[in-house]
């Protein structure tokens, strides 16, 4: 175990004060370090305004060692990095002004963590150091008191375990840190870590079917949805869910104000038709988001989160900009509970895909840290949905969703262009849509699947139109999703498929029983997966940049 030194940062007379002492006139620290656990409890002697806490230790990474970077939320890039690698900050057009930086930063952690220094990088909630097939894993026992951030600073040869507690005022005992430590093989450490958390288990093990977003985006209507529903008939034996994505509502936030021109029969009729096919009915909601032009935003400005200057706080720039509902407002809580009640019980949907969840906790408020707000937000959503209905999380900081959601997106959105559009080349941030980044995350977050929730690697494609993928790139995306995920969606009208595409669809929707032994980058563009399938040892390798399958 490392020899850790504590560093507490707090606010005094408007200034940040750093202290490495365990006892002062203001507080005392109770630190416990053992082979398998690190704990620290703050005992304030009077009220103290906290900013951050860290345990620091000297650590020198070897040239053959890697550090695991778990990105901030569902879409954020997750990877293994070497000693001299650089994890990019928001770049390109995002740095033109403070406004563009804010737009690029709002979906990530860029405003309260450091990026861009060679050899310095960080991971949220858990991390590991790996040499060959041997891992040392550090994992937070919970994010309720603040996000746990593991930082490796190679220029300083320092490993830090940081607690983001900005905004908290403590006047009684406060747990600053509770981290578990495990050593062993890949599966051994993740079995031990997630097993130690005693998480609520997801109610599903596998889902396969359709979601409307990646063919039509918001341009859906009743005819398109019912046509695509019927289009799955030829593959009915391999389908379990049909999901309606964004576009049914008049405006984001006005969830019960259905666009009557597009859906004259209403959303209950759609759910009923889905159930007639024998599928679960899913529907997309961004429960904390309200479009700037929505009725909710116009009629209830007092429901919206405000920034430090009192201005309405943007939560995302989708749909021309959206504000965020303040879930600590009692009227907001009743409003959210009501639309969930109608959607789930009156309309009859079985699963809600909840998106842009990070927006509720972009800044500390109400005397709570970002992590505490996010955990309380996830608990509130589960309360609204109930235990019998399913939640698919998206745009979600992962740790607060452990034991809450049944399934979760673990990658950014894929793109209709395999190589990505212009914003991929600009590297605006680590959350932009990208098929390559989605594949990367699907592989490097594989340990979550089945242990915490069902991994949703986002969709794969088999259609021929409205898409810029080679056939080989389609096969690669389908194979990776099937091998490492258990929420498997297409957005195609399967009624247009030929026999070949239909056969691939059935195969890609089936549960994969392959046992993965390792999945590493062998160079900048190549990923190699070693696995056993039906008793045969195999190697699956591919060029991530081009989508070329080298071996399988």
Question: Residue 94 pLDDT > 60, yes or no?
Answer: no
Domain hosting 94: range is 5-196
Measured between its terminal Cα atoms, the distance across the chain in Å is 40
Question: Is residue 183, in this structure, part of any structural domain at all?
Answer: yes
Q: With a cut of 80, say whether residue 92 has pLDDT above it.
A: no
Q: Binning pLDDT at 50, 70 and 90, where does residue 96 land?
A: low
Model pLDDT, residue 275: 98
pLDDT in tens, 350-359: 999 999 999 9
pLDDT at 196: 98
Report d(CA 348, CA 548) in Å as an integer. Answer: 43
Asked whether residue 245 is assigned to any structural domain, the reply reads no
Q: Does the pLDDT at position 509 exceed 70?
A: yes
pLDDT confidence tier of residue 91, bands split at 50, 70 and 90: low
6 in helix, strand or coil? Answer: strand
pLDDT over 70 at 3, yes or no: yes
State percent of the chain over pLDDT 90.
92
Q: Is the dihedral of CA 457, 460, 466, 468 positive or negative?
A: positive
Confidence of residue 423 (pLDDT cuts 50, 70, 90): low
Domain membership flag for residue 538: no
What confidence category does residue 45 fall into, taking pLDDT thresholds of 50, 70 and 90?
very high
Number of independent structural domains in the chain: 1
Report the SS3 class of residue 57: strand
Whether 18 and 9 have beta carbons less than 8 Å apart is answered as yes
Average pLDDT, the chain: 96
Which pLDDT does position 461 carry in this prediction?
98
Q: Specify if 130 maps to a domain.
A: yes
* Region 36-57 average pLDDT: 97
Which tens digits make up the pLDDT trace of 187-238? Answer: 999 999 999 999 999 999 999 999 999 999 999 999 999 999 999 999 999 9
The structure's pTM equals 0.97
What mean pLDDT do residues 267-280 have? 98
Of the pLDDT bands very low, low, confident and very high (cuts 50, 70, 90), residue 425 is low
For a pLDDT cut of 70, what percent of the chain falls above it? 97
pLDDT of residue 426: 57
- Kindly list the distances between the CA atom of residue 521 and the CA atoms of 79, 425, 440, in Å, as whole numbers in the listed order: 10, 21, 10
Look at residue 105 in the predicted model and tell me its pLDDT.
86
Tell me which of 17-21, 243-247, 310-314 is least confident: 310-314
pLDDT at 34: 87
Do residues 173 and 43 lie in contact, with contact meaning Cβ atoms separated by under 8 Å?
yes
How long, in residues, is the chain? 552
**Cβ-count burial 212-246 (b if 16+ within 10 Å, e if not):** bbbbbeeebbbebbeebbebbebbeebbebbbbbb
- Phi then psi for 143, rounded to 5 degrees? -110, 10
Reported confidence tier of residue 88, pLDDT bands at 50, 70, 90: confident
- Using alpha carbons only, what angle is made at residue 184 by residues 393 and 447, rounded to the nearest 5 degrees? 15
Decide if pLDDT at 291 tops 90: yes
**pLDDT tens profile 295-347:** 999 999 999 999 989 999 999 989 999 999 999 999 999 999 999 999 999 99
List the one residue out of 207, 241, 237 whose CA is nearest residue 503.
Answer: 237
Confidence grade of residue 422 (pLDDT, cut at 50, 70, 90): low
Rg (CA), the chain: 23
Instruction: Flag whether 34 is in a domain.
Output: yes
Whether residue 395 is contained in a domain is answered as no
* pLDDT confidence of residue 427: 62
Structure letter (DSSP) for residue 447: G
**pLDDT value of residue 101:** 74
Inter-residue contact 380 to 333 (CB < 8 Å): yes
Q: Do the domain assignments include residue 495?
A: no
For residue 84, with 0-12 CB atoms within 10 Å meaning exposed, 13-18 middle and 19 or more buried, which class applies? exposed
Alpha-carbon distance 507 to 315, whole Å? 39
Q: Residues 40, 6: contact at Cβ < 8 Å? A: yes
User: How does residue 489 score in pLDDT terms, banded at 50, 70 and 90?
Assistant: very high
Model confidence at 1: pLDDT above 80: no
Query: Residue 104 — pLDDT band, cuts 50, 70, 90?
Result: confident
Indicate whether 402 belongs to any domain: no
Helix (H, G, I), strand (E, B) or coil at 407: strand
Cα 485 to the chain's mean position, in Å?
14
Q: Is the dihedral of CA 201, 108, 456, 440 positive or negative?
A: negative
pLDDT for the residue 2: 83
Other CB atoms within 10 A of residue 33 CB: 16
């Amino acid at each position: 175990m490392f020899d850790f030194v504590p560093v507490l940062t707090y606010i005094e007379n408007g200034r940040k004060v750093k202290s490495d002492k365990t006892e002062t006139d203001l507080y005392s620290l109770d630190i416990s370090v053992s082979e398998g656990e690190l704990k620290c409890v703050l005992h304030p002697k009077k009220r103290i305004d906290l900013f951050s806490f860290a345990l620091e230790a000297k650590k020198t990474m070897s040239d053959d060692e890697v550090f695991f970077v778990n990105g901030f939320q569902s879409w954020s890039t997750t990877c293994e990095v070497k000693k001299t690698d650089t994890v990019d900050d928001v770049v390109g057009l995002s740095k033109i002004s403070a406004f563009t930086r804010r737009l690029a930063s709002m979906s990530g952690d860029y405003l309260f963590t450091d990026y861009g220094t060679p050899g310095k990088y960080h991971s949220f909630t858990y991390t590991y150091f790996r040499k060959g097939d041997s891992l040392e894993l550090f994992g937070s026992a919970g994010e309720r008191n603040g996000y746990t951030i593991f930082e490796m600073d190679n220029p300083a040869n320092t490993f830090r375990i940081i607690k983001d507690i900005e905004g908290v005022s403590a006047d009684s005992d406060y747990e600053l840190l509770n981290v578990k430590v495990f050593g062993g093989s890949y599966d051994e450490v993740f079995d031990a870590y997630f097993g130690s958390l005693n998480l609520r288990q997801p109610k599903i093990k596998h889902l396969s079917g359709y979601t409307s977003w990646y063919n039509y985006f918001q341009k859906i209507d009743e005819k398109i949805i019912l046509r695509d529903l019927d289009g799955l008939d030829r593959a009915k034996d391999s389908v379990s869910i049909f999901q309606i994505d964004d576009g049914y509502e008049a405006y984001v936030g006005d969830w019960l104000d259905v666009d009557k021109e597009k859906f004259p029969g209403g959303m209950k009729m759609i759910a009923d038709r889905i159930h007639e096919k024998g599928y679960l009915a899913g529907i997309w909601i961004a429960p904390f988001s309200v479009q700037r032009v929505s009725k909710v935003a116009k009629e209830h400005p007092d429901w919206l989160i405000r920034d430090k200057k009192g201005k309405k706080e943007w939560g995302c720039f989708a749909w021309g900009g959206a504000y965020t509902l303040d879930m600590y407002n009692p009227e907001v809580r009743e409003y959210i509970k009501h639309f969930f009640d109608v959607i789930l019980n009156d309309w009859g949907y079985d699963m809600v895909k909840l998106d842009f969840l990070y927006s509720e906790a972009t800044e500390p408020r109400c005397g709570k840290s970002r992590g505490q707000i996010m955990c309380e937000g996830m608990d509130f959503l589960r309360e609204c949905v109930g235990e019998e209905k399913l939640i698919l999380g998206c745009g979600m900081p992962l740790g607060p969703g452990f034991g809450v959601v049944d399934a979760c997106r673990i990658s950014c959105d894929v793109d209709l262009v395999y190589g990505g559009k212009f914003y991929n080349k600009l590297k605006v941030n680590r959350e932009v849509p990208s098929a390559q980044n989605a594949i990367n995350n699907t592989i490097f977050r594989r340990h979550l699947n089945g242990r915490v929730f069902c991994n949703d690697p986002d969709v794969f494609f088999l259609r021929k139109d409205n898409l810029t993928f080679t056939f080989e790139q389609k096969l690669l995306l389908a194979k990776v999703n099937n091998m490492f995920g258990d929420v498997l969606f297409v957005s195609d009208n399967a009624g247009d498929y030929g026999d070949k595409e239909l056969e691939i669809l059935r195969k890609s929707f089936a549960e994969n029983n392959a046992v993965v032994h390792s999945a590493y980058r062998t160079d900048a563009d190549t990923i190699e997966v070693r696995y056993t399938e039906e008793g045969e040892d195999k190697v699956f390798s591919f060029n991530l940049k081009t989508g070329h399958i080298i071996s399988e």
